Amino acid sequence: MNFLPHTCQIHLNQLGYSPDLAKVFTSDAAGRFEVVNSVSGETVYSGSTSPLHPDHSSGMPVARGDFSAVRSPGSYIIRLTDAGVQSPVFPIDGRPYQAIKNALLKSFYYQRCGVELESAYAGPWSHKACHLSDAYVHGKPEERYSQTGGWHDAGDYGKYTVAAAKAVADVMLAYEWFPSALREPVGIPDPEIRMPDVLAEVRFELLFLLKMQRKDGAVYHKVTTAEFPALDCMPESDTADLIFSPISHTSTAAFAAVMAMAARIYRDMDASMAENYGRAAKSAWKWLTENHSGAGFKNPSDIKTGEYGDDCRLDEEYWAAAELYRWTREPQYLAAAQELAGSEAFSLCELGWADTGGYGTLCLLSMEAGDLPAPLRSQLLNAWAAEADSCVGRSAADGFGVALLPDEYIWGSNMLVMNRAMLLITASRLTGRTPFASAALDQWHYLLGRNTLGYCYVTGFGAKPVMNPHHRPSAGDGIPEPVPGMVAGGPNSSIQDEAAASLLRGQPPAACFIDHKDSYSTNEMTIYWNSPAVFVAAFADLS
Protein backbone atom coordinates (compact mmCIF):
# COMPACT_ATOMS: atom_id res chain seq x y z
CA MET A 1 0.00 0.00 0.00
CA ASN A 2 1.28 3.49 -0.81
CA PHE A 3 1.09 5.82 2.15
CA LEU A 4 0.45 9.51 1.70
CA PRO A 5 3.01 12.00 3.02
CA HIS A 6 2.27 13.77 6.27
CA THR A 7 -1.20 15.30 6.44
CA CYS A 8 -3.14 16.60 9.39
CA GLN A 9 -5.19 13.41 9.68
CA ILE A 10 -3.06 11.95 12.47
CA HIS A 11 -2.66 14.34 15.36
CA LEU A 12 -0.07 13.70 18.07
CA ASN A 13 2.61 15.40 20.11
CA GLN A 14 5.17 16.16 17.40
CA LEU A 15 7.97 16.44 19.96
CA GLY A 16 7.37 12.84 21.00
CA TYR A 17 7.04 11.06 24.33
CA SER A 18 9.14 9.74 27.15
CA PRO A 19 8.93 5.95 27.57
CA ASP A 20 6.63 5.97 30.59
CA LEU A 21 4.11 8.52 29.33
CA ALA A 22 0.67 7.59 28.04
CA LYS A 23 0.73 7.87 24.25
CA VAL A 24 -2.52 8.65 22.45
CA PHE A 25 -3.10 10.04 18.98
CA THR A 26 -6.31 11.31 17.44
CA SER A 27 -7.48 11.00 13.85
CA ASP A 28 -10.45 11.80 11.68
CA ALA A 29 -10.28 8.22 10.42
CA ALA A 30 -10.76 5.01 12.40
CA GLY A 31 -9.46 1.49 12.00
CA ARG A 32 -6.25 -0.49 12.26
CA PHE A 33 -2.97 1.27 12.92
CA GLU A 34 0.64 0.28 13.31
CA VAL A 35 3.62 1.92 14.97
CA VAL A 36 6.70 1.62 12.75
CA ASN A 37 10.35 2.26 13.55
CA SER A 38 11.19 4.96 11.00
CA VAL A 39 14.80 3.79 10.66
CA SER A 40 14.46 0.01 10.41
CA GLY A 41 10.93 -0.11 8.98
CA GLU A 42 9.98 -2.67 11.62
CA THR A 43 6.40 -2.66 12.88
CA VAL A 44 6.71 -2.59 16.66
CA TYR A 45 3.04 -2.39 17.61
CA SER A 46 -0.37 -2.87 16.00
CA GLY A 47 -3.77 -1.91 17.28
CA SER A 48 -7.14 -0.43 16.48
CA THR A 49 -8.50 3.03 17.15
CA SER A 50 -11.73 3.70 18.95
CA PRO A 51 -14.81 4.25 16.78
CA LEU A 52 -15.33 7.73 15.41
CA HIS A 53 -17.19 10.11 17.72
CA PRO A 54 -18.42 13.62 16.92
CA ASP A 55 -16.30 16.43 18.37
CA HIS A 56 -18.19 19.69 18.63
CA SER A 57 -15.23 22.05 18.92
CA SER A 58 -13.44 20.75 15.84
CA GLY A 59 -16.56 20.01 13.80
CA MET A 60 -15.19 16.61 12.79
CA PRO A 61 -15.55 13.00 13.87
CA VAL A 62 -12.54 11.89 15.89
CA ALA A 63 -11.09 8.50 16.81
CA ARG A 64 -8.32 7.78 19.30
CA GLY A 65 -5.49 5.30 19.17
CA ASP A 66 -3.47 4.26 22.21
CA PHE A 67 0.11 3.09 21.75
CA SER A 68 1.32 3.47 25.33
CA ALA A 69 2.77 -0.04 25.14
CA VAL A 70 5.57 1.26 22.90
CA ARG A 71 8.32 2.20 25.33
CA SER A 72 11.64 1.58 23.58
CA PRO A 73 13.59 4.72 22.67
CA GLY A 74 13.70 5.36 18.95
CA SER A 75 12.20 7.23 16.03
CA TYR A 76 8.69 6.23 14.91
CA ILE A 77 5.74 6.91 12.65
CA ILE A 78 2.13 5.80 12.96
CA ARG A 79 0.30 4.41 9.96
CA LEU A 80 -3.45 4.13 9.61
CA THR A 81 -3.48 1.05 7.42
CA ASP A 82 -7.07 1.31 6.19
CA ALA A 83 -6.94 5.05 5.45
CA GLY A 84 -3.45 4.95 3.95
CA VAL A 85 -2.04 7.90 5.86
CA GLN A 86 0.86 8.28 8.24
CA SER A 87 1.98 10.62 10.98
CA PRO A 88 5.08 12.77 11.04
CA VAL A 89 8.17 11.14 12.52
CA PHE A 90 8.34 11.49 16.30
CA PRO A 91 10.76 10.23 18.97
CA ILE A 92 10.39 8.21 22.12
CA ASP A 93 13.18 9.50 24.28
CA GLY A 94 14.15 9.97 27.89
CA ARG A 95 13.87 13.79 27.70
CA PRO A 96 11.97 14.76 24.56
CA TYR A 97 10.95 18.16 25.96
CA GLN A 98 14.31 19.47 27.15
CA ALA A 99 15.01 21.58 24.05
CA ILE A 100 11.55 23.11 23.80
CA LYS A 101 11.51 23.86 27.52
CA ASN A 102 14.77 25.80 27.16
CA ALA A 103 13.50 27.59 24.05
CA LEU A 104 10.28 28.63 25.78
CA LEU A 105 12.37 30.15 28.54
CA LYS A 106 14.89 31.79 26.22
CA SER A 107 12.07 33.48 24.30
CA PHE A 108 12.01 36.07 27.11
CA TYR A 109 15.60 36.97 26.29
CA TYR A 110 14.54 37.70 22.70
CA GLN A 111 11.93 40.10 24.12
CA ARG A 112 14.50 42.13 26.04
CA CYS A 113 14.21 45.89 25.66
CA GLY A 114 16.93 48.50 26.01
CA VAL A 115 19.92 46.25 25.31
CA GLU A 116 21.65 44.90 22.25
CA LEU A 117 20.85 41.29 21.50
CA GLU A 118 24.28 40.05 20.50
CA SER A 119 24.70 37.36 17.87
CA ALA A 120 26.67 35.28 20.38
CA TYR A 121 23.40 34.77 22.25
CA ALA A 122 20.67 35.70 19.76
CA GLY A 123 22.12 34.10 16.64
CA PRO A 124 20.48 35.43 13.46
CA TRP A 125 17.82 37.20 15.55
CA SER A 126 20.27 39.74 16.97
CA HIS A 127 19.49 43.45 16.86
CA LYS A 128 20.72 46.76 18.25
CA ALA A 129 19.68 48.28 21.55
CA CYS A 130 16.23 49.86 21.48
CA HIS A 131 13.97 52.25 23.41
CA LEU A 132 16.77 53.97 25.32
CA SER A 133 15.11 57.34 25.88
CA ASP A 134 13.29 58.41 29.01
CA ALA A 135 9.50 58.31 28.99
CA TYR A 136 7.25 61.16 30.05
CA VAL A 137 4.26 60.88 32.36
CA HIS A 138 1.00 61.18 30.46
CA GLY A 139 -0.25 64.77 30.64
CA LYS A 140 3.08 65.98 32.06
CA PRO A 141 5.58 66.09 29.19
CA GLU A 142 8.11 67.86 31.41
CA GLU A 143 8.17 64.97 33.90
CA ARG A 144 10.45 62.25 32.51
CA TYR A 145 11.94 59.08 33.98
CA SER A 146 14.04 56.14 32.87
CA GLN A 147 12.09 53.20 31.50
CA THR A 148 14.89 51.10 29.97
CA GLY A 149 14.99 47.35 30.41
CA GLY A 150 12.35 44.70 30.82
CA TRP A 151 10.60 42.65 28.16
CA HIS A 152 8.52 43.75 25.21
CA ASP A 153 5.08 42.45 25.99
CA ALA A 154 4.14 40.74 22.75
CA GLY A 155 4.39 41.28 19.03
CA ASP A 156 4.50 44.99 19.86
CA TYR A 157 7.02 46.92 21.95
CA GLY A 158 4.85 48.07 24.83
CA LYS A 159 5.57 47.10 28.43
CA TYR A 160 2.53 46.49 30.61
CA THR A 161 2.64 45.95 34.37
CA VAL A 162 -0.27 43.53 34.79
CA ALA A 163 0.89 41.38 31.89
CA ALA A 164 4.45 41.35 33.22
CA ALA A 165 3.22 40.36 36.68
CA LYS A 166 1.63 37.17 35.36
CA ALA A 167 4.68 36.35 33.27
CA VAL A 168 7.25 36.69 36.06
CA ALA A 169 4.96 34.91 38.51
CA ASP A 170 4.59 31.88 36.25
CA VAL A 171 8.32 31.61 35.65
CA MET A 172 9.20 32.07 39.34
CA LEU A 173 6.61 29.41 40.21
CA ALA A 174 8.16 27.08 37.63
CA TYR A 175 11.54 27.47 39.32
CA GLU A 176 10.03 27.08 42.77
CA TRP A 177 8.12 23.90 41.90
CA PHE A 178 10.61 22.29 39.48
CA PRO A 179 14.08 23.68 40.24
CA SER A 180 15.92 20.64 38.88
CA ALA A 181 14.32 21.18 35.46
CA LEU A 182 15.33 24.84 35.32
CA ARG A 183 18.92 24.93 36.51
CA GLU A 184 20.57 24.32 33.16
CA PRO A 185 21.85 27.25 31.09
CA VAL A 186 19.77 28.33 28.10
CA GLY A 187 22.23 30.73 26.46
CA ILE A 188 21.78 34.23 27.86
CA PRO A 189 24.44 36.72 29.02
CA ASP A 190 25.80 36.12 32.52
CA PRO A 191 24.11 38.31 35.15
CA GLU A 192 26.07 40.46 37.56
CA ILE A 193 25.28 37.99 40.33
CA ARG A 194 25.68 34.31 39.59
CA MET A 195 22.34 32.52 39.55
CA PRO A 196 20.44 30.10 37.28
CA ASP A 197 19.52 31.55 33.89
CA VAL A 198 15.83 31.34 34.71
CA LEU A 199 16.20 33.68 37.68
CA ALA A 200 18.65 35.93 35.85
CA GLU A 201 16.10 36.43 33.07
CA VAL A 202 13.27 37.16 35.51
CA ARG A 203 15.56 39.57 37.36
CA PHE A 204 15.95 41.54 34.13
CA GLU A 205 12.19 42.13 34.13
CA LEU A 206 11.94 42.80 37.87
CA LEU A 207 14.53 45.58 37.65
CA PHE A 208 12.42 47.24 34.98
CA LEU A 209 9.22 46.86 37.01
CA LEU A 210 10.82 48.77 39.88
CA LYS A 211 10.99 51.75 37.48
CA MET A 212 7.22 51.62 37.08
CA GLN A 213 6.61 52.55 40.72
CA ARG A 214 6.07 56.16 41.78
CA LYS A 215 7.58 57.51 44.99
CA ASP A 216 4.20 57.24 46.73
CA GLY A 217 3.99 53.49 46.01
CA ALA A 218 1.50 53.55 43.13
CA VAL A 219 2.50 51.87 39.88
CA TYR A 220 2.10 53.05 36.30
CA HIS A 221 -0.11 50.78 34.23
CA LYS A 222 2.16 50.70 31.18
CA VAL A 223 4.83 52.45 29.16
CA THR A 224 4.30 52.56 25.38
CA THR A 225 4.31 54.86 22.41
CA ALA A 226 1.00 56.53 21.59
CA GLU A 227 0.34 54.09 18.74
CA PHE A 228 1.71 50.77 17.54
CA PRO A 229 4.54 51.00 14.99
CA ALA A 230 4.33 49.25 11.63
CA LEU A 231 4.49 45.47 11.70
CA ASP A 232 7.91 45.34 10.00
CA CYS A 233 9.42 47.93 12.37
CA MET A 234 12.48 46.57 14.19
CA PRO A 235 12.71 47.58 17.86
CA GLU A 236 15.67 49.95 17.39
CA SER A 237 13.71 51.76 14.66
CA ASP A 238 10.76 52.46 16.96
CA THR A 239 11.78 55.95 18.06
CA ALA A 240 8.47 57.65 18.86
CA ASP A 241 8.02 59.25 22.29
CA LEU A 242 7.48 56.82 25.15
CA ILE A 243 4.71 57.58 27.62
CA PHE A 244 3.94 56.34 31.13
CA SER A 245 0.19 55.82 31.16
CA PRO A 246 -1.60 56.62 34.43
CA ILE A 247 -1.38 54.47 37.52
CA SER A 248 -4.01 51.84 38.29
CA HIS A 249 -5.08 49.81 41.30
CA THR A 250 -4.68 46.55 39.39
CA SER A 251 -1.13 47.33 38.30
CA THR A 252 -0.19 48.44 41.82
CA ALA A 253 -1.63 45.31 43.44
CA ALA A 254 -0.13 42.93 40.87
CA PHE A 255 3.21 44.69 41.33
CA ALA A 256 2.99 44.27 45.11
CA ALA A 257 2.30 40.55 44.65
CA VAL A 258 5.25 39.78 42.38
CA MET A 259 7.66 41.94 44.35
CA ALA A 260 6.78 40.11 47.56
CA MET A 261 7.17 36.84 45.70
CA ALA A 262 10.57 37.94 44.38
CA ALA A 263 11.70 39.07 47.83
CA ARG A 264 11.14 35.52 49.05
CA ILE A 265 12.59 33.65 46.07
CA TYR A 266 15.72 35.80 45.60
CA ARG A 267 16.70 36.40 49.23
CA ASP A 268 19.30 33.61 49.31
CA MET A 269 21.11 34.59 46.12
CA ASP A 270 20.53 38.32 45.62
CA ALA A 271 19.92 39.59 49.14
CA SER A 272 20.27 43.32 48.51
CA MET A 273 17.87 43.26 45.57
CA ALA A 274 15.48 41.04 47.53
CA GLU A 275 15.30 43.79 50.14
CA ASN A 276 14.48 46.30 47.41
CA TYR A 277 11.73 44.05 46.08
CA GLY A 278 10.29 43.71 49.57
CA ARG A 279 10.32 47.45 50.23
CA ALA A 280 8.62 48.08 46.90
CA ALA A 281 5.93 45.50 47.69
CA LYS A 282 5.15 47.05 51.07
CA SER A 283 5.10 50.56 49.58
CA ALA A 284 2.62 49.46 46.93
CA TRP A 285 0.42 47.76 49.56
CA LYS A 286 0.47 50.90 51.71
CA TRP A 287 -0.75 52.95 48.76
CA LEU A 288 -3.54 50.44 48.15
CA THR A 289 -4.73 50.59 51.75
CA GLU A 290 -4.83 54.38 51.62
CA ASN A 291 -6.51 54.67 48.21
CA HIS A 292 -9.62 52.52 47.99
CA SER A 293 -11.51 54.40 45.30
CA GLY A 294 -10.82 54.43 41.60
CA ALA A 295 -12.28 52.99 38.41
CA GLY A 296 -10.59 50.36 36.31
CA PHE A 297 -7.87 51.50 33.95
CA LYS A 298 -8.92 52.99 30.64
CA ASN A 299 -6.61 54.20 27.91
CA PRO A 300 -6.30 57.97 27.71
CA SER A 301 -7.95 59.17 24.52
CA ASP A 302 -4.64 59.77 22.78
CA ILE A 303 -3.12 56.35 23.61
CA LYS A 304 -4.00 53.58 21.13
CA THR A 305 -1.82 50.72 22.41
CA GLY A 306 -3.08 47.73 24.40
CA GLU A 307 -5.31 48.70 27.30
CA TYR A 308 -5.25 45.69 29.65
CA GLY A 309 -8.30 47.10 31.36
CA ASP A 310 -9.76 45.38 34.41
CA ASP A 311 -12.63 46.66 36.52
CA CYS A 312 -12.08 44.24 39.45
CA ARG A 313 -9.00 44.89 41.58
CA LEU A 314 -9.94 42.62 44.50
CA ASP A 315 -8.35 39.51 43.00
CA GLU A 316 -5.03 41.36 42.57
CA GLU A 317 -5.26 42.63 46.14
CA TYR A 318 -5.95 39.09 47.37
CA TRP A 319 -2.89 37.86 45.52
CA ALA A 320 -0.78 40.68 46.95
CA ALA A 321 -1.98 40.02 50.50
CA ALA A 322 -1.25 36.31 50.14
CA GLU A 323 2.28 36.88 48.84
CA LEU A 324 3.03 39.50 51.49
CA TYR A 325 1.84 37.11 54.18
CA ARG A 326 3.88 34.21 52.86
CA TRP A 327 6.97 36.41 52.74
CA THR A 328 6.58 38.25 56.07
CA ARG A 329 4.21 36.06 58.14
CA GLU A 330 2.65 39.30 59.38
CA PRO A 331 -0.97 38.74 60.49
CA GLN A 332 -2.31 41.90 58.85
CA TYR A 333 -1.74 40.37 55.43
CA LEU A 334 -3.34 37.06 56.38
CA ALA A 335 -6.40 38.92 57.66
CA ALA A 336 -6.69 40.82 54.37
CA ALA A 337 -6.26 37.66 52.29
CA GLN A 338 -8.81 35.75 54.34
CA GLU A 339 -11.38 38.53 54.06
CA LEU A 340 -10.91 38.80 50.30
CA ALA A 341 -11.05 35.01 49.82
CA GLY A 342 -14.47 35.00 51.44
CA SER A 343 -15.83 37.91 49.43
CA GLU A 344 -17.07 35.78 46.48
CA ALA A 345 -16.20 38.75 44.28
CA PHE A 346 -13.78 36.83 42.03
CA SER A 347 -12.66 33.33 41.15
CA LEU A 348 -10.18 31.75 43.54
CA CYS A 349 -8.69 29.57 40.79
CA GLU A 350 -7.97 31.68 37.70
CA LEU A 351 -4.38 32.27 36.58
CA GLY A 352 -4.81 35.01 34.01
CA TRP A 353 -3.40 38.51 33.70
CA ALA A 354 -6.76 40.01 34.63
CA ASP A 355 -8.19 37.23 36.80
CA THR A 356 -5.38 36.59 39.25
CA GLY A 357 -7.15 35.00 42.20
CA GLY A 358 -5.57 31.64 41.51
CA TYR A 359 -2.12 33.02 42.26
CA GLY A 360 -3.21 34.08 45.73
CA THR A 361 -4.79 30.68 46.34
CA LEU A 362 -1.76 28.80 45.06
CA CYS A 363 0.51 30.96 47.21
CA LEU A 364 -1.43 30.16 50.38
CA LEU A 365 -1.81 26.45 49.59
CA SER A 366 1.96 26.21 49.05
CA MET A 367 2.55 27.10 52.70
CA GLU A 368 2.71 24.59 55.52
CA ALA A 369 -0.72 23.59 56.76
CA GLY A 370 -0.03 25.11 60.17
CA ASP A 371 0.59 28.54 58.64
CA LEU A 372 -3.07 28.91 57.62
CA PRO A 373 -6.31 28.72 59.59
CA ALA A 374 -7.76 25.26 58.92
CA PRO A 375 -11.10 26.57 57.55
CA LEU A 376 -9.29 28.82 55.06
CA ARG A 377 -7.00 26.04 53.87
CA SER A 378 -9.96 23.70 53.47
CA GLN A 379 -11.92 26.32 51.52
CA LEU A 380 -9.06 26.96 49.15
CA LEU A 381 -8.05 23.33 48.64
CA ASN A 382 -11.64 22.31 47.94
CA ALA A 383 -12.01 25.10 45.39
CA TRP A 384 -8.73 24.13 43.69
CA ALA A 385 -9.62 20.44 43.52
CA ALA A 386 -13.13 21.19 42.25
CA GLU A 387 -11.76 23.33 39.44
CA ALA A 388 -9.25 20.61 38.58
CA ASP A 389 -12.10 18.09 38.46
CA SER A 390 -13.91 20.36 36.01
CA CYS A 391 -10.80 20.54 33.83
CA VAL A 392 -10.49 16.75 33.83
CA GLY A 393 -14.11 16.48 32.75
CA ARG A 394 -13.68 18.95 29.90
CA SER A 395 -10.52 17.20 28.77
CA ALA A 396 -12.12 13.75 28.81
CA ALA A 397 -15.13 14.94 26.82
CA ASP A 398 -13.08 16.64 24.11
CA GLY A 399 -11.98 14.68 21.07
CA PHE A 400 -8.43 16.04 21.33
CA GLY A 401 -8.20 15.90 25.11
CA VAL A 402 -8.08 19.66 25.63
CA ALA A 403 -9.86 21.23 28.59
CA LEU A 404 -11.77 23.81 26.54
CA LEU A 405 -15.47 24.06 25.86
CA PRO A 406 -16.52 25.18 22.36
CA ASP A 407 -17.13 28.75 23.56
CA GLU A 408 -13.70 28.96 25.24
CA TYR A 409 -11.70 29.30 22.03
CA ILE A 410 -11.04 32.94 22.74
CA TRP A 411 -8.22 35.40 22.12
CA GLY A 412 -5.21 33.69 23.69
CA SER A 413 -6.91 30.30 24.01
CA ASN A 414 -3.50 28.63 24.27
CA MET A 415 -2.87 30.63 27.44
CA LEU A 416 -6.10 29.24 28.84
CA VAL A 417 -4.96 25.72 27.95
CA MET A 418 -1.60 26.19 29.66
CA ASN A 419 -3.18 27.91 32.67
CA ARG A 420 -5.42 24.90 33.15
CA ALA A 421 -2.45 22.59 32.81
CA MET A 422 -0.77 24.59 35.58
CA LEU A 423 -3.84 24.23 37.76
CA LEU A 424 -3.96 20.48 37.14
CA ILE A 425 -0.26 20.00 37.86
CA THR A 426 -0.45 21.85 41.15
CA ALA A 427 -3.70 20.09 42.07
CA SER A 428 -1.97 16.76 41.51
CA ARG A 429 0.77 17.63 43.98
CA LEU A 430 -1.57 19.21 46.52
CA THR A 431 -4.05 16.32 46.51
CA GLY A 432 -1.97 13.34 45.37
CA ARG A 433 -4.51 12.54 42.64
CA THR A 434 -2.70 11.24 39.54
CA PRO A 435 -5.60 11.83 37.08
CA PHE A 436 -4.89 15.54 37.43
CA ALA A 437 -1.30 15.09 36.21
CA SER A 438 -2.45 12.92 33.30
CA ALA A 439 -4.95 15.55 32.20
CA ALA A 440 -2.24 18.23 32.47
CA LEU A 441 -0.11 16.33 30.00
CA ASP A 442 -3.08 16.13 27.63
CA GLN A 443 -2.96 19.94 27.47
CA TRP A 444 0.76 19.78 26.67
CA HIS A 445 0.12 17.28 23.87
CA TYR A 446 -2.54 19.62 22.48
CA LEU A 447 -0.11 22.55 22.34
CA LEU A 448 2.51 20.48 20.53
CA GLY A 449 0.36 19.00 17.79
CA ARG A 450 -2.56 16.94 19.03
CA ASN A 451 -5.07 19.56 17.99
CA THR A 452 -7.60 20.13 15.24
CA LEU A 453 -5.22 21.74 12.75
CA GLY A 454 -2.16 19.65 13.59
CA TYR A 455 0.03 22.64 14.44
CA CYS A 456 2.82 22.70 16.92
CA TYR A 457 1.87 26.07 18.38
CA VAL A 458 5.48 26.85 19.39
CA THR A 459 7.72 28.50 16.81
CA GLY A 460 10.78 26.54 15.75
CA PHE A 461 9.51 23.11 16.81
CA GLY A 462 7.55 20.20 15.42
CA ALA A 463 6.70 18.87 11.99
CA LYS A 464 4.19 21.67 11.40
CA PRO A 465 5.35 24.71 13.38
CA VAL A 466 3.93 28.20 13.34
CA MET A 467 6.03 30.14 10.81
CA ASN A 468 4.41 33.58 10.46
CA PRO A 469 3.61 34.96 13.92
CA HIS A 470 2.32 38.48 14.48
CA HIS A 471 5.64 39.57 15.98
CA ARG A 472 7.43 42.68 14.80
CA PRO A 473 11.03 41.45 15.09
CA SER A 474 10.15 38.24 13.24
CA ALA A 475 8.35 40.21 10.53
CA GLY A 476 11.04 42.86 10.11
CA ASP A 477 14.37 41.07 10.46
CA GLY A 478 14.51 39.46 7.02
CA ILE A 479 15.11 36.01 8.54
CA PRO A 480 12.78 33.32 7.08
CA GLU A 481 12.38 31.54 10.40
CA PRO A 482 10.64 33.36 13.23
CA VAL A 483 12.22 33.87 16.62
CA PRO A 484 12.06 30.39 18.19
CA GLY A 485 10.24 29.30 21.32
CA MET A 486 7.19 31.57 21.07
CA VAL A 487 3.67 30.30 21.85
CA ALA A 488 1.03 31.44 19.36
CA GLY A 489 -2.27 32.70 20.74
CA GLY A 490 -4.26 29.85 19.20
CA PRO A 491 -7.77 29.41 17.84
CA ASN A 492 -10.11 32.33 18.46
CA SER A 493 -13.69 31.85 17.32
CA SER A 494 -14.45 35.57 17.74
CA ILE A 495 -12.31 36.22 14.61
CA GLN A 496 -11.07 39.68 15.64
CA ASP A 497 -8.74 40.73 12.84
CA GLU A 498 -9.10 41.19 9.09
CA ALA A 499 -6.78 38.35 8.12
CA ALA A 500 -8.74 35.89 10.25
CA ALA A 501 -12.07 37.27 9.07
CA SER A 502 -11.14 36.84 5.42
CA LEU A 503 -10.29 33.15 5.78
CA LEU A 504 -11.90 31.71 8.90
CA ARG A 505 -15.51 32.85 8.83
CA GLY A 506 -17.79 29.86 9.41
CA GLN A 507 -15.04 27.56 10.70
CA PRO A 508 -15.63 25.52 13.88
CA PRO A 509 -14.12 27.06 17.03
CA ALA A 510 -11.02 24.86 17.27
CA ALA A 511 -10.15 25.58 13.63
CA CYS A 512 -10.25 29.39 13.96
CA PHE A 513 -6.51 29.86 13.67
CA ILE A 514 -4.43 31.11 10.77
CA ASP A 515 -0.64 31.14 10.53
CA HIS A 516 -0.51 34.67 9.11
CA LYS A 517 1.55 37.59 10.34
CA ASP A 518 -1.45 39.94 10.22
CA SER A 519 -3.63 37.74 12.41
CA TYR A 520 -2.94 39.36 15.75
CA SER A 521 -6.06 37.80 17.30
CA THR A 522 -4.92 34.20 16.63
CA ASN A 523 -1.20 34.28 15.86
CA GLU A 524 0.48 36.83 18.10
CA MET A 525 2.82 35.85 20.92
CA THR A 526 2.92 37.33 24.42
CA ILE A 527 5.19 36.88 27.40
CA TYR A 528 2.21 35.69 29.47
CA TRP A 529 1.28 32.97 26.97
CA ASN A 530 4.85 31.72 27.07
CA SER A 531 5.13 31.86 30.84
CA PRO A 532 2.58 29.14 31.78
CA ALA A 533 4.07 27.01 29.00
CA VAL A 534 7.46 27.25 30.78
CA PHE A 535 5.82 25.90 33.95
CA VAL A 536 4.16 23.03 32.07
CA ALA A 537 7.32 22.27 30.09
CA ALA A 538 9.35 22.01 33.31
CA PHE A 539 6.82 19.52 34.65
CA ALA A 540 6.75 17.55 31.38
CA ASP A 541 10.55 17.47 31.23
CA LEU A 542 10.57 15.60 34.54
CA SER A 543 7.65 13.29 33.69
Catalytic residues, which ones? 470, 515, 524
Cα–Cα distance, 1 to 214 (Å, whole number): 70
CB 395 within 8 A of CB 55: no
- CA 102, 103, 108, 110 torsion-angle sign: positive
Three-state SS for 518?
coil
Instruction: Name the packing angle between helices 314-328 and 249-266 (round to 10°).
Output: 20
In one-letter notation, the amino acid at residue 86 is: Q
Nearest to 362 by CA among 391, 321, 327, 322: 322
> Residue 533's Cα: distance from chain center in Å?
5
Three-state SS for 159?
strand
Cα–Cα distance, 100 to 102 (Å, whole number): 5
> Residue 207's Cα: distance from chain center in Å?
21
Contacts of 372 (CB under 8 A, 6+ apart): 334, 364
Burial per residue of 507-523, b for 16 or more beta-carbon CB atoms within 10 angstroms, e otherwise: bbbbbbbbbbbbbbbbb
CB atoms within 10 A of CB 256: 30
Cα–Cα distance, 423 to 173 (Å, whole number): 12
CB 310 within 8 A of CB 352: no
Cα–Cα distance, 448 to 455 (Å, whole number): 7
